[in-house]
Amino acid sequence: MNPEFAIELLKNLMFQAAAISMPFLVTAMLIGLAVSLFQAVTSISEQTLTFVPKALGILGLLLLLLPWLVRTTVEFTIKVIEMMPQMVY
């Protein structure tokens, strides 16, 4: 395996990881921002209040995006398996 091939493979891997995790990170950030704003407006300083909305939001998003997640992961895995002959000299 030459260095350019390894770099390309790692670049694709990092892009895939970022693409899969980004919807969950953005959802958690937006829910956390909304709950923090709600806590600031109502002066409620309960630390456990952010957990339940974030957990429900992430679970709902997971159920919504599960077909896309599986398809994307399987396509990436197939692409890596197809590139295996190029990895060995």
For residue 43, the SS3 value is: coil
Say what the pLDDT of residue 54 is: 93
Question: What's residue 87's pLDDT?
Answer: 79
CA distance 54 to 31: 6
Per-residue confidence (pLDDT) for residue 89, from 0 to 100 = 67
Task: Note the pLDDT tens digit of each residue in 43-58.
Answer: 888 878 889 999 999 9
Among the listed residues 86, 81, 79, 84, the one whose alpha carbon sits nearest the alpha carbon of residue 16: 79
Predicted pLDDT at 69: 96
Q: Please identify every stretch of the chain with a pLDDT value under 50, giving residue numbers as ranges.
A: none
Tell me what pLDDT residue 17 has. Answer: 96
- Is residue 1 a contact partner of residue 87, using CB atoms and an 8 Å limit? yes
Residue 32: its pLDDT value, please? 92
